[in-house]
Amino acid sequence: RWLTLDVVSDPQSDAEAIVLDTLSVEVGVLNEFLTPPFDMTVRFEHCGEANTYYDPTTGNVTICAELGSLFTE
Query: pLDDT tier at 13 (50, 70, 90 boundaries)?
Result: very high
Q: What is the pLDDT of residues 17-42, one digit of tens each?
A: 999 999 999 999 999 998 878 889 99
pLDDT at 15: 92
52 contact partners, CB below 8 Å, separation of at least 6: 61, 62, 63, 64, 67
Residue 57 per-residue DSSP state: T
